[in-house]
Amino acid sequence: SATDLHPTDLYESPIHPVVLASIGDSYERRNEGASRVIGTLLGTVDKHSVEVTNCFSVPHNESEDEVAVDMEFAKNMYELHKRVSPSEVIVGWYATGFEITEHSVLIHEYYSREATNPIHLTMDCALQSGKMNIRAYVSAPMGVPGKTVGVMFTPLSVKYKYYDTERIGVELLQRTRDAPNASSGLTSDLCQVGKAASRVQDMLATVLTYIEDVLSGKQGADNSVGRYLMDLVNKVPKISAEDFETMLNSNINDLLMVTYLANLTQAQIALNEKIVVL
């Protein structure tokens, strides 16, 4: 659990794309006049890393002199979220913006009561530096015991991690990056399979080019790349081309048969409904 970790034990924070999308959405939907939004981060703690898998925004009012956070709303949202994903716990909080303010320390103190070692994630949705800087911190007390004690925020290494289901959305967003209208529609399953096969073919061509350059001496060998390639080769099942083609055709025939039977059943049900109405 998070209570077993000391702030200095953490060294990285993997973040899923849905978290970044939720933060950006909450910033766009913020109340008029609000300079930033805050929210609760949910996820899991594993060894020396905190994986952030979900989040939700928390209403708050902030001025130069004071800050007020709706803690009751945050507690109720977390209780509702536990019913859906009981494995996700509070791991920290986020705030849009580029820097840590004095109010951030006060908000961090509250989350320190919800999680012993919370992380603080900042995301520059206003693009003050020309890009969306994403940073994560953990806090540690500093000062003289018995005297004035402050808080020091230590940065963590931020990494981006996604599930296979999230990868579809990430790739779709990447296609809109250079699009003139910044929009792109979903493609059919067959088109996605074709594009995936084309990407695999391009990556294999890149790997073959690298291997040929290393063997010819045009490029120096990299041990880490060699280990990745060896791991890739070991994962490929040893099967002849004829057996693979037979197995693929057999699976395709089975898939087509299941699809045909499903469509036939759907047509039969629709026909029966029409007959009952008549």
Q: What is the pLDDT of residues 56-88, one digit of tens each?
A: 888 887 777 777 888 888 889 889 988 888 888
User: What is the reported pLDDT for 1?
Assistant: 33
Long-range own/partner contacts, residues 66-72 (CB < 8 A, 24 or more apart): 67/103, 67/106, 67/107, 69/38, 69/107, 69/110, 71/110
pLDDT tens digit sequence for 238-271: 888 888 788 888 888 888 888 889 889 988 888 8
Looking at the domain that runs over 2-165, which CATH code has it been given? 3.40.140.10
Q: Give the confidence band of 225 by pLDDT, cuts at 50, 70, 90.
A: confident
Share of the chain above pLDDT 70, in %: 87
Q: What is the mean pLDDT of the chain?
A: 80
User: Is a pLDDT exceeding 80 seen at residue 43?
Assistant: yes
8 Å CB contact between 57 and 81 = no
Helix (H, G, I), strand (E, B) or coil at 261: helix
pLDDT at residue 3, as a whole number = 37
Q: What is the pLDDT of residue 147?
A: 63
Helices (H), 62-221: 71-84, 102-114, 164-175, 189-216
Q: 94 or 165: which carries more pLDDT confidence?
A: 94
Q: Which has the higher per-residue pLDDT, 240 or 168?
A: 240
CB 108 within 8 A of CB 139: yes
Q: What is the pLDDT of residue 146?
A: 64
pLDDT for 45: 82
Amino acid code (one letter) for 247: M
Q: Let me know the angle formed at the C-alpha of 138 by 136 and 144, rounded to the nearest 5 degrees.
A: 145
